[in-house]
Structure 1
Amino acid sequence: MALSPLDGRYLQKVKDLHPFFSEYGLIRYRVIVEVKWLLKLSEIPEIKEVQSFSENARSYLESIVSGFSKADALEVKKIEKVTNHDVKAVEYFLKQKCQSNAEIAEIEPHDYIAKLFNVVVQFNNILTDFDRDIWSYISLGYFKQMTKAREIGSSTMPHKVNPIDFENSEGNLCLANAILSALSSKLPISRMQRDLTDSTVLRNLGIGSGYSLLAYKSALQGIRKLQVSSKICMRWLSLEN
């Protein structure tokens, strides 16, 4: 019933290749690569997302490789039936294996992204408040905006300069925070570590970051145009005195 004579007539002569070229071999070497890579990352102090492992934890990870069995490969295949993704199945297999070791179970790969994005969202909230304040100060005349030659500030009143950079920044921050908040809420959550919704949303990391970057550049551009209105300032100083 073999489709190839290598697995039929000549099986005994080529069976030594099974550990390397069979699907079992492919799964095993994927596990080896993941574990070795994780161990290497743990040795680099600059990578804060992966802590330095104790000898106990390192031995445990090494044992996953050295003790990898056909039963383990079958477990990966079982997970793949749920994920419909062979590489992701290896990742989830390792997650399951590491659940019993508290030290390793804490490097969940998506938690640090969620934490980072939460910080970015908070920064964006502060910048949004700044954009709105500067918009108001410009409207009240405390600041003027310098324009380039032939630059038109408003479609209806060409002599007027709208705070378009700060409006642009605020709008992009709104979009950025909507995406980043969704990502930071979703990434730590997975159905028994067996679904692929994280894979779907991870494709959008650049969108939230992109809108944030646009907002930062717009705000900086607006700041460079600002000029304090000396008349308004002098008026307030005279009122205070």
Structure 2
Amino acid sequence: MNTEGSGAGSLLTVTGMVLQAAPAGEYDRRVVLLTRENGRIACFARSARRQGSPLMAACSPFVFGSFRLAAARTSYVITEASVKNYFERLRSDIVTAYYGMYFLEAAEYVTRENNDESQILLLLYRSCQALGSPSFSNRLVRVIFELKLVVLEGEFPGLSEAERALCSESMQYAVHYIASSGIAELYRFQVTEEVLCELERFSASVCRRFFEREFQSLAILKTMEEGADRGGTDG
């Protein structure tokens, strides 16, 4: 983190991703960033909703880059932004976009201000890269993201003896790989549909115990996928 000055009005530069952006006032935006240096922080972007504002495109969910912030009395104000990745692929398909929105919601839920959240930021970045890739099923990306997020939070229960007795060796290997691998190596394997279904059931069980809320984007995603399944059946 680079800082200039101290107290209100001091400047700092952070690297991070926009988790949430909402209107504030007539032309401003309230932006939640997950940063490498300061964890999760809330900021305001003045006039970011004005046509022609240099901050308009940068203050949108999924945007990753460097943000120049001025410290105000109770929050930060974004003064400049240098975008490194817009994740355009997540904006071209509505279902893939909701997978990504779920990842953003989950990351916002578990992170805190002034915590070292650099590993979660990296996981979020790599997972958004993997979404929509022809090399990966979005369902597999979701399972990997969920399980690794719980691992990073120190809450991963592992497979119980009963679960080991019921699941395949391939599923056990996949769970071990996700739990023990570095984030850079996570998206380097494939599984069969049968193993993916096993992973989904296990991950759903883990998430029910770990998350104490339901995510709006996940509820919408489930509705969309159920509708697509019914449409395929009817067709």
What TM-score, normalized by structure 2, do the two folds share?
Answer: 0.24
More helix, by proportion: 1
Greater Rg over alpha carbons, structure: 1
What TM-score, normalized by structure 1, do the two folds share?
Answer: 0.24
More strand, by proportion: 2
